[in-house]
Structure 1
Amino acid sequence: MTGVRAHRAAGHAAGRHYSTTAYVLHAAARVLAAHPAANAAIRGRVRPKVARYDTVNGKFTMDRTVNGERVVLSAVLTGLENASLDDVQEQLDRFRDGDPETMPEFAGARLLRRLPWPLGTLAFRAGVRPLGRRAATMGTFAVTSLAHRPVDGFHSVGGTTITLGLGRTADRPVVRDGRVAVAPVMRLNLTFDHRVVDGAEAADVLAELRDALETVKPAADPAPDLAPAAGEERG
């Protein structure tokens, strides 16, 4: 994460703030746009159906307090395959600074919270069951972070084919050019639905995402392309 840390510092000096989640959402969207088999969802057990999506929507989680109660909320950012890093961060800031009791994007969550638990569960399942609606309600991939605590690795199932778990970024010993050095390292965890993709495809997604994050470079205008957009090739 040396490049990400340097890029964040350059952004801070220019008056911009970028979270690690923003880098991962931005890079993962472009990687998944190049892997349509992983940008998909499944429904059913006896006769399962798989839908692949033309757009890449990323779900992320937030630790918030609502009515004095600590809750985890999630929101979906749509069309990330064409979004810049600044676009992603602006959307993250809007959700994290907004009031979940009034934001229209959380209207469904507010309704479910008011319903009795059994009825709320049935309503949620009915809402996310149609594959045509799944990308908008659940995202085509999910990112969750526990980096605010001393957590290195964990695996989460976010209801999507690909779920990325972000641990903390910490200085650790690494080997570079045959020598031990200290560098910022983040453990990037991936959980995948084996009914939709196999391990080889999941490994490609994780490796390409790692490469994208490791090759971030600070620039005069700190808004990098972390991975090729759909249809583009690496230079």
Structure 2
Amino acid sequence: MTVSRSAEGPPAQPPAARRRSERNRLHTLYFLEHAARQRPVHLDTDIDMSRIEAHRAAARAVGQRYSRVAYLLWASGRVLHRHPGANAALLPGRPFGLRAPRTVRFTGVTAKLALDRTVNGERTVLSALLPRLESADLDNIQERIDRYRSPDSAELPEFRGVRLLGRLPVPLGRLAFAAALRAPARRPATLGTVSVSSLGHRPVDGFHSSGGTAITLCAGRVIDRPVVRQGRLAIAPVMRLGLTFDHRIIDGAAAADVLGDLTSTLEGFDDGAEEDCIQPLVRGTGQDLRA
């Protein structure tokens, strides 16, 4: 680098780097400190979204909109309920390793959905909690998503804790975050039992993250790709689904079972599991979603 010299003084120095506060992202930084304890392992697969895309098209024809992440949340609730070992958390260990690690399995499924929001003029991530997913229907899930995606969602009472963390001094904020996660019974209401994130609105095929839960699901975009059906080449809308699991809580075979169950649940969405939602749309448009 060439440094210019003035005739009357020392060499001119480049301008100092501009510093900016990360106070609006303190909750994310505290969370990352917690998530760093995980032992993440990554799996992924391709999901044939043909039936889901047909259902979305039928819904649009009668004035109803469903986002793709709503289907993923719908499937996640049912699949995690069928795999209780993956709907779990590791309990805090005892000092000096005097007791073997233990896990707690949750009876309900609560998703932690990552949202791209603007807080005080800055882009940041807020995590919305959606409890009781194991029994929620698609309409209920979509209503909750829409509420969290509203323009003023950052001011919702559910995010009061995030706003408080941004105002506390860092040492107190770090202690408050850790205290909120200490009691296993409170974990679903603070961190959820499964994490869900989507970057499908951008040209992202697949990605992985560790959401602080035993299972983290990451959805990429849906794009037409060649697939083989009954020995013949076809074109179908395909979504890459990433699954990250915490190896401290479950093993690879169990995580692969979860991913396989998610695949069959999403690809077979209209096989009677959501008849109350599908049939009115079918009757209204004349489409046969079972074709």
Aligned-pair distance for 1:216? 2.2
Contact 2:118 2:154 in 1 (8 A): no
Contact 2:228 2:234 in 1 (8 A): yes
What is the CA–CA distance in structure 2 between the aligned matches of 1:57 and 1:118, rounded to whole Å? 29
What is the CA–CA distance in structure 2 between the aligned matches of 1:181 and 1:143, rounded to whole Å? 30
Contact 1:57 1:135 in 2 (8 A): yes
Instruction: Tell me whether 33-42 or 213-222 shows the greater mean CA deviation.
Output: 213-222
Aligned-pair distance for 1:15? 1.2
List 4+ stretches of structure 1 deviating above 6 A. none
Contact 2:147 2:153 in 1 (8 A): no
**Structure index of larger Rg:** 2
Q: Aligned residue for 1:228?
A: none
What is the CA–CA distance in structure 1 between the aligned matches of 2:234 and 2:170, rounded to whole Å? 52
- Structure 2 alignment gaps of length 5 or more: 1-48, 271-276, 283-291
* 1:219 equivalent in alignment to 2:219: no
Contact 1:61 1:143 in 2 (8 A): yes
Q: How does 1:24-63 map to 2 (within 5 A)?
A: 24-45=72-93, 46=97, 47=99, 48-63=101-116
* 1:197 equivalent in alignment to 2:250: yes
* 1:8 equivalent in alignment to 2:67: no
Which whole-Å deviations, capped at 9, do the CAs of 1:108-131 have from their partners, x for residues lacking one? 001001123333222111111211
SS at match of 1:159: coil
Instruction: Tell me whether 4-13 or 121-130 shows the greater mean CA deviation.
Output: 121-130
Query: Size of the alignment, in residue pairs?
Result: 223
Which whole-Å deviations, capped at 9, do the CAs of 1:173-215 have from their partners, x for residues lacking one? 1111212111100011100111111111111111011001111
Which whole-Å deviations, capped at 9, do the CAs of 1:60-93 have from their partners, x for residues lacking one? 0110111110011101111111110111111111
* 1:130 equivalent in alignment to 2:178: no
Q: Aligned residue for 2:204?
A: 151
What is the CA–CA distance in structure 1 between the aligned matches of 2:154 and 2:241, rounded to whole Å? 32
Instruction: Provide closer, same or farther for how the CA distance between residues 12 and 110 of structure 1 changes in structure 2, counting only shifts above 3 A.
Output: same
What is the CA–CA distance in structure 2 between the aligned matches of 1:179 and 1:28, rounded to whole Å? 31
Q: Aligned residue for 1:179?
A: 232
Contact 1:8 1:18 in 2 (8 A): yes
* 1:112 equivalent in alignment to 2:162: no
Contact 2:113 2:197 in 1 (8 A): yes
- Structure 1 alignment gaps of length 5 or more: 224-235
TM-score for the superposition, normalised by structure 2:
0.73
Aligned partner letter, 1:221: P
Q: Aligned residue for 2:220?
A: 167
When the two chains are superposed, the root-mean-square deviation of aligned CA atoms in Å is 1.6
Q: Aligned residue for 1:71?
A: 124
What is the CA–CA distance in structure 2 between the aligned matches of 1:194 and 1:60, rounded to whole Å? 21
Aligned partner letter, 1:68: G
What is the CA–CA distance in structure 2 between the aligned matches of 1:58 and 1:174, rounded to whole Å? 31
What is the CA–CA distance in structure 1 between the aligned matches of 2:157 and 2:64, rounded to whole Å? 27
What is the CA–CA distance in structure 2 between the aligned matches of 1:194 and 1:179, rounded to whole Å? 38
SS at match of 1:12: helix
What is the CA–CA distance in structure 2 between the aligned matches of 1:183 and 1:117, rounded to whole Å? 49
* 1:20 equivalent in alignment to 2:68: yes
